[in-house]
Structure 1
Amino acid sequence: MANEIKKRTIEMKKESVLKAAIRLFAEKNYDATTMAEIAKEANVSFGSVSIYFGNKEELFKACIEQPLEEFSKILLHFDTTPVSYRDEIQTFILKHFEWFSTQNVYLRLLVQLTGQYERFSEAFKIVNEHTEKLNDKVSQLIVNGQQANQLAKGNAEKIAIS
């Protein structure tokens, strides 16, 4: 029982550090944010931040990667074989616009990452892999719609990327 409480406390502290880091990196940018500021914002010791995430670059990577796992589940939640392909695409697009409109802080992190993709190559690779999964699934939706004669013919991969 005590062990479970300790594990839960550590997870809560890690989550607090991650939220603080995401907000500070997004507001101030990577270079202007210090590990000490993150620790203070998360109300944990400086050493805890290092223990949980290693160095600043690893923490930044975690700030990109951990929310992305959850977000990918949301973004990939659509049917590639619906009754109406046009309706599914319309719903998909609307859902994505609505979702992205609520992710202002995280999107600022992605802009920083994209602008410095060589510097943060590991994190960029992870985002790129998730983007490719989304593109592949959208491509499949388009191909299926074309085969069902519900969508115009064309290069499904290029259409998906668009």
Structure 2
Amino acid sequence: MSGENQSRSIEQKKENVLQCAIKLFAEKGYDATTIGEIAKAANVSFGLVSTYYGNKEQLFTACISIPAETYLAEMLMFETEPLSFKEEITQMIKNHIHIISNRKDYLQLFVQVNSQYERFPKAFEVANIYTQKLTRNIEELIKNGKLKDQLITGNAEKIAIAYVSLLFGLRLSYSDDPTTEDWNQFVDIALRLFGPK
């Protein structure tokens, strides 16, 4: 195997371990999940999991931090100074709902970290940084929309926090997967938070 192929194989194994860990931590919780179970699910040795990610706590933190940047980039795909704020916000909400509908395990893990922040300080720090970045960009969008008189008045920071909370809450409120029609109904509900004119 060439060096490039070997490197690609290692990265694929690492990614597989990470995805299996996210799924198991989300489903069973931190305490009930073992490195042995993760290794078995990923079809690698116990030692390889440790080589890639260190101990269980470090792996748990990696499960939050490694995907966070990619997910944040996807969540930030909106303009904060569009021509039509109603259109931009509608598209942003649709994009966000599409993302959360496909990230059930990760978001369950994310909420575990936020609800037990004293227990998982490193993972919480990462989660908090990314949540604040998203909230600040949405707040900027709202402020700009009010300046352009395209959104009704209201506290931009609180509206942004309420919207982000709604997104996380939607994903966690369903034990099964909602239909596309269910998700689409939430677009209109979420849009009302922003008060487009």
TM-score normalised per structure 1: 0.94
Q: Name the residue aligned to 1:10.
A: 10
Q: Name the residue aligned to 1:28.
A: 28
How far off its partner does 1:157 sit? 1.5
Aligned partner of residue 88 in structure 2, secondary structure = helix
Q: Name the residue aligned to 2:49.
A: 49
Q: Name the residue aligned to 1:59.
A: 59
Aligned partner of residue 82 in structure 1, secondary structure = coil
Amino acid at match of 1:68: A
TM-score normalised per structure 2: 0.78
How far off its partner does 1:102 sit? 1.8
Quote the Cα distance in structure 2 between the aligned partners of 1:107 and 1:159: 21
Quote the Cα distance in structure 2 between the aligned partners of 1:35 and 1:159: 40
Deviations 1:138-162 (A, max 9, x none): 1111111111111123322222112
How far off its partner does 1:106 sit? 1.3
Deviations 1:91-130 (A, max 9, x none): 2122212321222111221222122111111111111111
Unaligned runs of at least 5 residues, structure 1: none
Amino acid at match of 1:101: S
Aligned partner of residue 80 in structure 2, secondary structure = coil
How far off its partner does 1:4 sit? 1.4
Query: Aligned residue pairs: how many?
Result: 162
Q: Does the CA contact (< 8 Å) of 2:113 and 2:120 recur in 1?
A: yes
How far off its partner does 1:38 sit? 0.8
Unaligned runs of at least 5 residues, structure 2: 163-197
Amino acid at match of 2:88: E
Quote the Cα distance in structure 2 between the aligned partners of 1:97 and 1:6: 37
Q: Name the residue aligned to 1:98.
A: 98
Q: Name the residue aligned to 1:38.
A: 38
RMSD: 1.4
How far off its partner does 1:43 sit? 1.0
Deviations 1:39-73 (A, max 9, x none): 11111111111110000001011111111111101
How far off its partner does 1:86 sit? 1.5
Quote the Cα distance in structure 2 between the aligned partners of 1:9 and 1:97: 33
Query: Comparing 88-97 with 29-38, which one deviates more in the overlay?
Result: 88-97
